[in-house]
Amino acid sequence: MIHIKQNITVDCDVLIVGGGPAGSSLAYHLSKANIKTVVIEAEHFPRDKVCGDGVSPIALKELHNMGITQTDTFKKANAIEKVGLFMENDQTFIELEKPDELPFHARIIPRIELDFMIYNIAKSAGATFIERARVTDFKVSNLKVTTNYKVGALDQQITSKLIIGADGSRSIVARQLRGNSPDPAYQLLGLRSYYKNVNGPRNRVDVYFNKENFPGIYWLFPKGEHDANVGMAMVFKTCPQQVSEVRKCFSNFIDTNADLKKRLGNGTATEKVKGWPITFYDPKNPVVSNRTMLVGEAAGLINPLSGDGIQYAVLSARWASETIKECSKINDFSVDALMPYQKTIEDELEYDFSLSNLLVQFGKNKSLEPIWMSFLKILIGRCKEDPKFAGTVAGIFEGTYPSYKALDTEFILKILMQAGYDTNSYVLKNMEKPSQFLKDSTQLAKTTTDILKALAKDPKAHLGWLANVAGKAFTVAKYTVKR
């Protein structure tokens, strides 16, 4: 019997939607492998993206291997060697560790510069970019992908063997692959503004916690000599429903927090506050389908604890390229052929992300806020006493260490030891002040009563929270057992 194989002509091998760190990095890797790659980007480079601008040591290792760290732009970026943690008149400063296998400390690189560097190196490798274009829809057949897009008012069409969604939290590719929009339970909300003429060392980032937006954070990341990226991130489910209220929360903190005001000094904002949604990883969602893949934030590859996405954007780009190269050899882009990429994500990130997500879930119950804030105080207290412990905490937030480092027996014992030390210090300090004991006992009783009232007021919501936490804990336990 004679088999006739249909010869299908396509415009490119791989079409990538979105030219950010994930999309452009993937375009670089594929073009280096002589895989014809086209990137459709909504804007024109160089262009800005709202972000914290922090690039972790692990991300920098990936960029180093791509040649980015040899550029003049990179060499001028602020190297971050310290982090300051601030909370309610308490603070600690931590020297960041750098494992030997990582060539650089973290850097603060504005996205307008970072994305442009990766875009340029992808183009130099042979990738084609179609800028100021927006994908409207695509159709996957057994033999190719047909994608419709607009350049201005002009309708265009392009065919490819494979389509990649690298188009962020509102990814049109992800929405069509999964059949739904992101679940708000897996979203953060970020705000950012740039300031000029700020104080403080250019090698230290500052992170601020306060009860109003816990489990979110505020930050100041130094940019250049005297500029800074100042922002906040909040869990979508716990932030105010009105955008104006979120902006008000941000501006109030800037106006009233003494530690941040000291760092800002006479500095002034150079732009209006900008916001953006951040979608983090939901293990129920697939990242591959027939002739379709997702990378970076489109795949939900965001660390729920830190909001960092750049590290996982460039990692997922390399992982995806490794699978695509193998698929290209056999001209098979079915879901089964693409599955090694999803398996890599599960093996490398799912345990870490599941634990980070669990930790974030705890803070979603605002009724228990006093407990969470007390825990943070214990954490900061231990950081002051123990540089090794502090380095681990900072490394988890920075992305240098996985969050499951927090499950280490020694780490947990140090937290418990610090809690005991703080209790003893309090008792000794106030033994001769019975009135202080009475005052604090009264406050504790009031706090406990407030928590119980809140729990009784909406038991259904709290049971839902408890079930959610239990589900996340079960997932973490499953991965813990595997290891």
DSSP 123-175: HHHT-EEE-SEEEEEEEE-SS-EEEEEEETTEEEEEEEEEEEE-S-TT-HHHH
Which of 247-256, 266-275, 406-415 is predicted least confidently?
406-415
Whether the pLDDT of residue 414 is over 90: the answer is: no
pLDDT score for 4 = 46
Burial of 464 (0-12, 13-18, 19+ CB in 10 A): exposed
DSSP code per residue over 205-239:
EEEEE-TTTTT-EEEEEEETTTEEEEEEEEEGGGS
Q: Which residues share a beta bridge with 276?
A: 190
**Angle between helix 459-482 and helix 434-457 axes, rounded to 10 deg:** 100
Give the per-residue pLDDT at 242: 63
CB 383 within 8 A of CB 483: no
Select from 464, 268, 443 the least CA-distant residue to 370: 443
**Rounded to whole angstroms, what are the CA distances from 463 to 45, 222, 367, 455?**
48, 42, 13, 9
Give the list of residues 6+ apart from residue 385 with CB closer than 8 angstroms, or none: 418
Cβ neighbours for 124, distance < 8 A, ≥ 6 positions apart: none
Let me know: does 25 contact 118? Beta carbons within 8 Å. Answer: yes
Residue 323 has pLDDT above 80, yes or no: yes
Query: How much is the average pLDDT of 308-315?
Result: 94
What pLDDT is attached to residue 2? 47
Residue-averaged pLDDT of the chain: 83
Contacts of 40-43 spanning 24+ positions with Cβ under 8 A? 40/15, 40/16, 40/130, 40/133, 40/134, 40/135, 40/147, 40/149, 40/158, 41/129, 41/130, 41/131, 41/132, 41/133, 42/18, 42/132, 42/133, 42/134, 42/167, 43/131, 43/132
Which pTM was predicted? 0.85
Nearest alpha-carbon partner for 162 in 20, 346, 285, 332: 332
- pLDDT at position 246 is 77
What is the mean predicted confidence (pLDDT) over 346-366?
74
